[in-house]
Amino acid sequence: MGRTSDAREKLLAVAFQLIWDSSYGGVSVDQICERAGVNKGSFYHFFGTKASLAVEAYEQHWKLQQPEMDRLFSAQLGPLERLSLWCSFVYQCQKQKAQEYGRVCGCPYASIGGELATQDNEIRSKSAELMARNTKYLETTIAEAQRLGLAGAPDVKAAAQQVNAFVLGTVLSAKIQNDLEVLRNLEPTVIAIIGARVAVSL
């Protein structure tokens, strides 16, 4: 009973976008409210603090993004094909966002995580959790590549973390240089990371 509202969903979506465009500290609750067309009182009806809004906004974004990830990492595809598709996806995703906003915006999860890791433990651990979910796709894929003799990583979990770190670092470089170029050819290095140990030990 009582009335219904889409203010909550609007706030989540707007908060995610605004924080991705600038940063957590660079966006105020007032700005989020204004852009969402919601009064501040309503904001604090739905969310206890700015930080908890951020945590929920990022969780929500993951949920909306998950079907796309499932599609990219479909079991219908070969493991190397999935990795290749994912590399292209990362580039395309950054490219589209850069066209919309006029600057390279980087990885949203890593951005807020990197900004607040030492200051807000809940946001840090949510960021870590979302990045771990991402790495899980890589781990499963690399494990299958291994099984098919396409990769030579002794420790699959470590290899997934390494691939993730490489792509994360490249996306961050692209953001800091404000240049998408470094993102255009991720795949060969990803292949090198997961295949190198076999090759090197030859």
Partner DNA sequence: AAAATAGTTGACCGGTTGGTAAAGTGAAAG
Partner DNA sequence: CTTTCACTTTACCAACCGGTCAACTATTTT
Which residues have CB under 8 Å from 152's CB, separation 6+?
Answer: 146, 194, 195, 196, 197, 198, 199, 201
**Min dist. Cβ of residue 104 to DNA (A):** 24
Distance CA 114, CA 26 (A): 14
Size of the site for DNA (CB under 7 A): 24
54: contact with its own copies by CB under 8 A: no
Torsion sign, CA atoms 55, 56, 62, 65 = negative
Pick one of DNA, its own copies, none as the site partner of residue 41 (Cβ within 5 to 8 A by kind).
Answer: DNA
Pick one of DNA, its own copies, none as the site partner of residue 64 (Cβ within 5 to 8 A by kind).
Answer: none
Pick one of DNA, its own copies, none as the site partner of residue 4 (Cβ within 5 to 8 A by kind).
Answer: DNA
SS3 content of the chain, % helix, strand, coil (to 5): 75, 0, 25
Helix/strand/coil (H, E, C) string of 112-157?
HHHHHCCCCHHHHHHHHHHHHHHHHHHHHHHHHHHHCCCCCCCCHH
- Contact in structure between 175 and 106 (CB atoms under 8 Å): yes
Q: Looking at 21, 77, 84, 89, which residue binds its own copies (CB under 8 A)? A: 21
Segment interacting with its own copies, rule: CB under 8 A, options 17-25, 52-60, 68-76, 143-151 = 17-25
Q: Which residues bind its own copies (CB under 8 A)?
A: 21-26, 101, 103-106, 110-111, 113-119, 124, 127-128, 131, 158, 161-162, 164-170, 172-173, 175-178, 182, 185, 188-189, 191-193, 195-197, 199-200, 202
Q: Which residues bind DNA (CB under 7 A)?
A: 1-5, 7, 27-31, 38-46, 48-51
